């Protein structure tokens, strides 16, 4: 099922290591043109486009696009008490972790009478997307909304696909999670269309454009974010999930296998990769995966993901090569199952899970960390969702007359050099007469 790629005995560059396991790039490329057309359609035709897309993709017609109050009330009333307790605990943990992500204002005295204040301002309005296709993600409501609230965003809208099984309503667990967080602006809109609706607004249903769009989704959702980037701010393009496990002979093959399966069940395009210098571990994990995967509820989906070109067991000569592979791959989720973790050497990952008792599913729900993370190698240059996603750094400059006079000569020199004399005159005018 999981193919094994043997890289032992080869000195490979980071690019060659990365090429060993193809990413979802092809699927993402195919999705981009489709997502662009969907977004454009929503921008041009608004509600009409959204309803046509709901009929086509969600098999839903005639539903309320903006969720009415009674749907929230019914959802919360019917929420399983155990699920409610888990959501409330997740909210508390993510809120605590998110509060550490808000930088304090810092005032720097450049010189006497010359002060620059660095402050952080939240966006006015955020749109958060919560998937609802192959699975239901009330946990993603928590992961998106809590950081926005901690950042100080005053207006938060949420979108999630309408469910044919629930009469065109947003899944009740998602609505219940929204109500627990005080969110009452929710739209039964899914996929790339939801991203377009957030970016351009849909006046017919009272949906105003947002400043930032966040949230995970499939490759169409990720591609739609790329389409609207620049019109609105976006978080990372969180597409189909991926897990990379770096393990040595000390790792328990059962734990490795169940963790690979746990992410493979998300989506047929999910990536599940193990890199190890231990052939014995590789063989044991292969046996465990084959023995366990067929017994899972989402076996068909997981099996397809594990059989895909994006999933593999990679055999390497040593731990140094395993770490080099991980840093080149830059996974969304990285699990480190090593006798000596050496976490500081793993520099590219959305989130790092260390040791037997820190599976990725912990981060999906109750670790306190955020599970909206960059996929497709984006962790080389961007981070997961956090309170800072909704914050903008802003500089406030205060110079008194003496402090300005002290730098006037330099301003005049640079203004002359750049052939912008009015820049210099804006300074000298303050010292005339």
| Residue 27, pLDDT above cutoff 60 | no
Phi-psi region of 254 (alpha: psi -120 to 50; beta: other; left: phi over 0): alpha
Question: Within a domain: residue 378?
Answer: no
Total number of domains in the chain? 3
| Residue 237, pLDDT above cutoff 90 | no
pLDDT band for position 240 (cuts 50, 70, 90): confident
The yes-or-no answer on residue 333 being catalytic is yes
Instruction: Based on the fold, state whether residues 160 and 53 are members of the same structural domain.
Output: yes
Domain of residue 333 covers 4-24+240-368
pLDDT band for position 132 (cuts 50, 70, 90): confident
State how far the alpha carbon of 198 is from the alpha carbons of 126, 214, 288, 379, 391, in Å: 9, 10, 44, 25, 18
| Residue 433, pLDDT above cutoff 80 | no
Element (H, E) at 410: helix 401-417
3-class secondary structure for 375-400? Answer: CCCHHHCCCCCCHHHHEEEEEEEEEC
Separation of CA 327 from chain center: 19
Question: Within a domain: residue 377?
Answer: no
Q: For the segment 351-377, what is each residue's pLDDT rounded down to a tens digit?
A: 999 999 999 999 999 999 999 999 889
Q: Which of 71, 266, 333, 371 is catalytic?
A: 333
Q: For the segment 418-427, what is each residue's pLDDT rounded down to a tens digit?
A: 999 999 999 9
pLDDT of 183: 98
pLDDT of 136: 85
Q: Which of 265, 268, 332, 335 is catalytic?
A: 332
Question: Within a domain: residue 375?
Answer: no
Instruction: Based on the fold, state whether residues 233 and 244 are members of the same structural domain.
Output: no
Q: For the segment 162-194, what is each residue's pLDDT rounded down to a tens digit?
A: 999 999 999 999 999 999 999 999 999 999 999
Instruction: Based on the fold, state whether residues 197 and 227 are members of the same structural domain.
Output: yes
CATH (domain of 194) = 3.40.50.1980
pLDDT band for position 144 (cuts 50, 70, 90): very high
Instruction: Based on the fold, state whether residues 133 and 177 are members of the same structural domain.
Output: yes
Question: For the chain, what is the radius of gyration of the CA atoms?
Answer: 25
Q: What is the rounded CA–CA span in Å between residue 213 and residue 284?
A: 42
Task: Retrieve residue 235's tokens.
Answer: 């978080």
Provide the β-strand partners of residue 314.
5, 275
The yes-or-no answer on residue 71 being catalytic is no
Answer whether 0.85 is exceeded by the pTM. Answer: yes
Instruction: Based on the fold, state whether residues 342 and 405 are members of the same structural domain.
Output: no
Instruction: Based on the fold, state whether residues 278 and 411 are members of the same structural domain.
Output: no
Q: For the segment 100-118, what is each residue's pLDDT rounded down to a tens digit?
A: 999 999 999 999 999 999 9
Question: Within a domain: residue 381?
Answer: no
| Residue 238, pLDDT above cutoff 80 | no
Instruction: Based on the fold, state whether residues 232 and 266 are members of the same structural domain.
Output: no
| Residue 25, pLDDT above cutoff 60 | no
pLDDT of 134: 72
| Residue 389, pLDDT above cutoff 70 | yes
The C-alpha torsion from 380 through 381 and 384 to 387, rounded to 10°, is 150
Mean pLDDT, residues 199-213 taken together:
98
Question: Within a domain: residue 182?
Answer: yes
Least confident of 199-208, 213-222, 241-250: 213-222
Percent of the chain with pLDDT over 70: 99
Instruction: Based on the fold, state whether residues 216 and 249 are members of the same structural domain.
Output: no
Q: For the segment 319-358, what is each residue's pLDDT rounded down to a tens digit?
A: 999 999 999 999 999 999 999 999 999 999 999 999 999 9
- Whole-number average pLDDT of the chain: 95
Question: Length of the chain, please?
Answer: 433
| Residue 133, pLDDT above cutoff 80 | no
pLDDT of 255: 98
Instruction: Based on the fold, state whether residues 359 and 264 are members of the same structural domain.
Output: yes
Instruction: Based on the fold, state whether residues 76 and 213 are members of the same structural domain.
Output: yes
pLDDT of 72: 97
Q: What is the rounded CA–CA span in Å between residue 235 and residue 241?
A: 15
Instruction: Based on the fold, state whether residues 310 and 180 are members of the same structural domain.
Output: no
Question: Within a domain: residue 128?
Answer: yes
pLDDT of 29: 67
Instruction: Based on the fold, state whether residues 103 and 190 are members of the same structural domain.
Output: yes
């Amino acid at each position: 099922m999981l193919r094994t790629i043997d890289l032992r005995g080869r000195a490979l560059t980071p690019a060659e290591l990365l090429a060993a396991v193809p990413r979802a790039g092809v699927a993402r490329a195919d999705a981009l043109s489709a997502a662009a057309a969907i977004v454009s359609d929503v921008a041009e035709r608004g509600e009409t486009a959204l309803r046509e897309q709901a009929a086509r993709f969600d098999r839903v017609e005639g539903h309320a696009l903006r969720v009415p109050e009674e749907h929230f009330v019914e959802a919360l009333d019917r929420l399983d008490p155990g699920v409610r307790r888990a959501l409330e605990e997740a909210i508390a943990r993510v809120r605590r972790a998110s509060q550490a992500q808000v930088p304090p204002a810092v005032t720097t005295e450049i010189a006497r009478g010359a002060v620059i204040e660095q402050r952080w301002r939240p966006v006015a309005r955020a749109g958060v997307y919560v998937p609802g296709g192959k699975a239901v993600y009330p946990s993603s409501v928590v992961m998106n909304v809590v950081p926005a609230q901690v950042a100080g965003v005053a207006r938060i809208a949420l979108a999630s696909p309408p469910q044919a099984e629930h009469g065109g309503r947003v899944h009740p667990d998602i609505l219940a999670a929204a109500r627990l967080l005080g969110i009452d602006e929710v739209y039964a809109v899914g996929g790339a269309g939801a991203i377009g609706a957030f970016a351009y607004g849909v006046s017919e249903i009272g949906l105003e454009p947002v400043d930032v769009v966040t949230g995970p989704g499939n490759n169409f959702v990720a591609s739609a974010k790329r389409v609207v980037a620049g019109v609105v701010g976006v978080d990372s393009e969180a597409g189909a999930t991926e897990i990379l496990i770096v393990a040595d002979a000390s790792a328990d093959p059962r734990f490795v296998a169940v963790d690979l399966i746990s992410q493979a069940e998300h989506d047929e395009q999910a990536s599940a990769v193990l890199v190890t210098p231990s052939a014995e571990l590789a063989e044991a994990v292969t046996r465990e995966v084959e023995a366990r995967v067929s017994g899972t509820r989402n076996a068909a989906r997981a099996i397809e993901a594990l059989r895909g070109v994006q999933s593999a067991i990679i055999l390497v000569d040593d731990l140094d090569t395993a770490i080099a592979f991980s840093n080149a791959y830059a996974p969304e989720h990285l699990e480190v199952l090593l006798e000596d973790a050496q976490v500081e050497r793993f520099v590219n990952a959305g989130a790092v899970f260390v040791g037997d008792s820190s599976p990725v599913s912990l981060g999906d729900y109750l670790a306190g960390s955020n599970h909206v993370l960059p996929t497709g190698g984006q962790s080389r240059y961007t981070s997961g969702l956090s309170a800072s996603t909704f914050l903008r750094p802003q500089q406030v400059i205060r110079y008194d007359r003496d402090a300005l006079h002290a730098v006037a000569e330099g301003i005049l020199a640079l203004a002359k050099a750049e052939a912008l004399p009015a820049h210099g005159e804006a300074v000298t005018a303050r010292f005339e007469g």
